[in-house]
Amino acid sequence: MPERESLSTSIRNKIEQQLHKLVTRSHHASQPKDDRIPATFLQAGAPRFWLAVLCIGIGAGVGAVILTRLLEIVQHLVWAGSGTDILDAASHAGAWRHIVVLLGAGAVVGIGQLVLVRLSSGNGIDITSAIWFSAGRLPVVRTLGSAVLSVVVVGMGASLGREGAPKQAGAVVADLISDKARLSDEQRRLLVACGAGAGMGAAYGVPLGGALFALEVLRGMLALRLVLPALLASLVATTISWLVLPNAPTYQIPSFPYSAGALAWALVIGPIAGLVSVGYVKTVAWADRNKPTGWHRLAAPVLVLGLLGLISVKFPQLLGNGSDLSQLLYVGGITSSALLMPLLILKPVATVACLGSGAPGGLFTPSLTLGALLGGTLGHFGSQLGSGVPLGLSAVLGAGAVLAATTQGPISAVVLMMELTGRDRSFMAPLLLAVIAATLVSRLIEPRSIYDARLSDKEVKARLAAREPSPQ
């Protein structure tokens, strides 16, 4: 009898489990369709969703224009330059200006961080973490405050990227509009990524790259129902920015000759770029985990940025996001190993030090610059061995390879390089080879990207599991 009762209980439990699965499936099937991403205009809630996408594109574009102009104004005021070329202005500035301006930037960071801490708890704001673990919800005041602070200190010479600010602004706009439209968590998660990508697309004039960056790097997946909102938001934002900001490629490069030597050289640069990217990502993650707290929030940035100002007297290339330095490398404007090798070490160290001091800013352009320096340095030694590959092409390949490996976004990296330079066929084949090799090597060792730096090991594993579920 006990055995019969035990068997009966087991069968009943199995039946209840099956019924529970059926009920759960039925519940999900009966959920309102507007909880999902609308695949057609006929789907419930689609008009509200697409209107939100349009408004996000407009808001991200306006935000990018305002923040870019603010950056140029700050840069012009403190460096007495054109407002667009910090390297040229800093090269002609006296030593006292380097030290005073960067000490001032450190003070601005310290005071700004103390103010932001009072506005919101925590040591930092991370869009990636918000998208994956908070359904895209962001602290609005602190995020916008961090964006403005980022623009000011980058304009003053902090070795960080300027794309962090428009990304944050676009993400906040998406969060606010999602609230207003009462969108679901899944829709908000996508639209916050789209808003961030649209802000970046507008800041650099890269609509397709901004959309792919939003999905591949921030959202972590590519699908038709996700691609269309990202494309529309980025297109609208970039179109608005082109009404005010220059509609021209960020980098002017020559047309490089296609050759078998370039393909072979890409297979040399790619794996090396992958290994360098792993070290860079790990260092960024370490710096982010060890940001100053308490009164050190005020002292650390003054010390770090003041030291940067002192070193920049001899190496003005260390200042700013590195776009001016990359431009020189892409046209083969730096050929001396006596300059390339110190910059290859000092520029990423300056970026990591600024980040670790608590200074807010992006890592997109600094990653490109690291790759350009790596490619330029390798190209210099390759030319000594008779590789026949132009130094500028070597720098372009290094930039694309490091960008792909550090963001874990090979498709968006290739498209971004095409849009940023206005070129495609002259470097497409070798760039693809370098990107593939670099990404494979980096993912073998370190699955984390520079945008996952604030995530814990547990969160990284959860994100990877969601992006690439194990086969059943």
Which residues make beta-bridge pairs with 362? 161
Tokens of 168: 């944050």
449 in Cβ contact with 288 (< 8 Å): no
Check whether 33 has a pLDDT greater than 80.
no
Query: Other CB atoms closer than 10 Å to residue 180's CB: what's the count?
Result: 11
For the stretch 322-379, pLDDT in tens is: 999 999 999 988 888 889 999 999 999 999 999 999 999 999 999 999 999 999 999 9
For the stretch 404-434, pLDDT in tens is: 999 999 999 999 999 999 887 778 999 999 9
Cα–Cα distance measured from residue 32 to residue 198, given in angstroms and rounded to the nearest whole number: 28
Q: Is the pTM of this model over 0.85?
A: yes
Tokens of 192: 């916050």
What does the pLDDT read at residue 129?
82
What does the pLDDT read at residue 25?
38
What does the pLDDT read at residue 116?
84
Of 94-103, 132-141, 438-447, 460-469, the one with minimum mean pLDDT is 460-469
Query: Is residue 4 packed enough to be buried (19+ CB in 10 Å), middle (13-18) or exposed (0-12)?
Result: exposed
Tally of CA atoms within 13 A in the half-sphere of 206 that contains its CB? 28
Tokens of 323: 């776009």
Check whether 195 has a pLDDT greater than 90.
yes
For the stretch 230-284, pLDDT in tens is: 999 999 999 999 999 888 899 999 888 888 889 999 999 999 999 999 999 999 9
Q: What is the mean pLDDT of residues 151-173?
A: 94
Cα–Cα distance measured from residue 38 to residue 45, given in angstroms and rounded to the nearest whole number: 7
Check whether 56 has a pLDDT greater than 70.
yes
Cα–Cα distance measured from residue 30 to residue 360, given in angstroms and rounded to the nearest whole number: 44
Cα–Cα distance measured from residue 345 to residue 445, given in angstroms and rounded to the nearest whole number: 22
Cα–Cα distance measured from residue 439 to residue 9, given in angstroms and rounded to the nearest whole number: 53
Tokens of 219: 């959202």
Residue 117 C-alpha from the chain's centroid: 23
Which residues make beta-bridge pairs with 161? 362
Q: What is the mean pLDDT of residues 125-136?
A: 81
* E strand spans, 266-318: none
Taking CB atoms within 8 Å and a gap of at least 24, the contacts of 283-289 are 283/348, 283/352, 284/352, 284/355, 284/363, 284/450, 284/453, 285/448, 285/452, 285/453, 287/352, 287/353, 287/355, 287/356, 287/453, 288/124, 288/355, 288/356, 288/453, 288/454
Tokens of 103: 């000490």
pLDDT > 70 fraction of the chain, expressed in percent and rounded? 87
Q: Which residues make Cβ contacts (< 8 Å) with residue 128, sequence separation at least 6?
A: 218, 451, 452, 454, 455
Cα–Cα distance measured from residue 86 to residue 356, given in angstroms and rounded to the nearest whole number: 23
Cα–Cα distance measured from residue 101 to residue 113, given in angstroms and rounded to the nearest whole number: 18
Q: What is the mean pLDDT of the chain?
A: 86
What does the pLDDT read at residue 469?
52
Check whether 149 has a pLDDT greater than 80.
yes
Query: Is residue 21 packed enough to be buried (19+ CB in 10 Å), middle (13-18) or exposed (0-12)?
Result: exposed
Identity of residue 316: P
What does the pLDDT read at residue 465?
66
In order, the DSSP letters of 258-303 are P-HHHHHHHHHHHHHHHHHHHHHHHHHHHHHHT---TTHHHHHHHH
188 in Cβ contact with 108 (< 8 Å): no
DSSP state of 408: T
Higher pLDDT, 192 or 81: 192
CA trace torsion 194, 198, 204, 207 (10° rounding): 90
Cα–Cα distance measured from residue 207 to residue 382, given in angstroms and rounded to the nearest whole number: 35
Domains contained in the chain, CATH given: 46-242 (1.10.3080.10), 260-467 (1.10.3080.10)
Cα–Cα distance measured from residue 308 to residue 287, given in angstroms and rounded to the nearest whole number: 16
49 in Cβ contact with 183 (< 8 Å): yes
At 362, give phi and psi (nearest 5°): -90, 170
Check whether 59 has a pLDDT greater than 80.
yes
Tally of CA atoms within 13 A in the half-sphere of 257 that contains its CB? 7
Of 137-141, 238-242, 392-396, the one with minimum mean pLDDT is 137-141
Query: Other CB atoms closer than 10 Å to residue 129's CB: what's the count?
Result: 18
DSSP state of 229: H
Of 71-85, 156-170, 194-208, 308-322, the one with minimum mean pLDDT is 71-85
